[in-house]
Amino acid sequence: MARKMKAAVARGFGRPLAIEDVPVPEPGPGQVLVKVAACGVCHSDVHAVDGDWPLKPKIPFIPGHEGVGVVAELGPGVGRVREGDPVCVPWLHHACGTCEYCTTGWEPLCPGQTNTGYNVDGGYAEYVLAEAAFVGLLPKDPDFVAMAPIACAGVTTYKGVKETEARPGEWLIVSGVGGLGHVAVQYARAMALRVGAIDVADEKLELARSLGAEFAVNAHAGDAVAEVIERTGGGAHGVLATAASVASFTQAVAMARPRGTVALCGLPAGDFPTPIFDVVLKRITIRGSIVGNRQDLSEAVAFAASGQVKATVHSAPLEDVNDVFARLKAGEIDGRMALIP
């Protein structure tokens, strides 16, 4: 008889997840079975379950791409990890390894990629299958709940900061101090950047300051752009836009210094107008940033393991997933939630 495990299963878009007993998957060649200790809840999981994006996940599916736990079983031919090793199972489940993106370190752009918790079952379960070559290696005896958000929020913001090309001593503005932004502030500080933060909630501004931002501006109070330009002596070298707000993207471009780069890693619904005159005359780069490659993940984990980056995480039992989604949609979650199966 097949072994069973508890999982939160999406059986239709926009419907609550169902807690069910499903078969424990078996690792094939190159794969590992990971016993999930915790799985972070990313806003993308809500979009996946609601079927919000043009490319839909398979139905039914198990969401979750911030799963962390230990390797419980090895498929044939796995040499990279051993049973008992702590790992994380990120969004990038698998990439082809041979296309122009894969061979140049841009595997998150691989057209042949598969994604954990989207078109491959994810970590909202007692076990999750992963490709041994794509898991993130965690330090020995990790605090699993603390490490869970690094698998997506961590690597996404770390890569986003890198994508702004801001150098040590230069100014980075983190726009939006939510689940992504509060981690971004810490990566930027760990990378010796000078940090300013923007949000619309005063407690988020306070959080940003406590994490090392030299100043924090309320986007709704006064002229936030003018204040950033003044505080940074002419505009930010890099701006990382993490807020799910179109208005904040427009603002992000306006506060960039000439030759600056604006990296977008939030995904608000809708488009924003590009001020072409400013972008051309100030030679501003506007760039998307999507997760990170395996090396980025490993560096993002290393910063967290060293204690320089700590996500604010609260945990809840897997059974509470629908309630957690509701609170996330209502903007009631401070930091990140991790589900415990």
Which residues form the interface with Zn ion (CB under 5 A)? Answer: 42, 44, 95-96, 99, 102, 110, 152
How far apart CA 146 and CA 128 sit, in angstroms, is: 19
Compare residues 152 and 216 and give the one whose CB is closer to Zn ion. 152
Compare residues 110 and 207 and give the one whose CB is closer to Zn ion. 110
Least distance to Zn ion, CB of residue 304, Å: 16
Residue showing tokens 């619309």:
200
Compare residues 49 and 110 and give the one whose CB is closer to Zn ion. 110
Least distance to Zn ion, CB of residue 99, Å: 3
Least distance to Zn ion, CB of residue 265, Å: 10
Compare residues 74 and 125 and give the one whose CB is closer to Zn ion. 125
Compare residues 31 and 293 and give the one whose CB is closer to Zn ion. 293
CB 157 within 8 A of CB 256: no
Least distance to Zn ion, CB of residue 149, Å: 9
Compare residues 228 and 241 and give the one whose CB is closer to Zn ion. 241
Least distance to Zn ion, CB of residue 23, Å: 26
Least distance to Zn ion, CB of residue 5, Å: 22
Classify residue 219 by burial, with Cβ atoms within 10 Å: 0-12, 13-18, 19+.
buried
Compare residues 114 and 285 and give the one whose CB is closer to Zn ion. 114
- How is residue 25 written in tokens? 């998957």
The length of the chain is 341
CB 172 within 8 A of CB 238: yes
How far apart CA 303 and CA 147 sit, in angstroms, is: 11
Strands (E), 78-235: 86-89, 92-94, 114-115, 127-131, 136-137, 171-175, 194-199, 215-218
How far apart CA 157 and CA 144 sit, in angstroms, is: 19
Q: Which residues on neighbouring strands pair with residue 287, listed in sequence order?
A: 263
How far apart CA 51 and CA 45 sit, in angstroms, is: 10
| Cβ-based neighbours of 3, under 8 Å, separated by 6 or more | 23, 24
Least distance to Zn ion, CB of residue 157, Å: 11
Q: Is the peptide bond before 60 cis (omega within 30 degrees of 0)?
A: yes
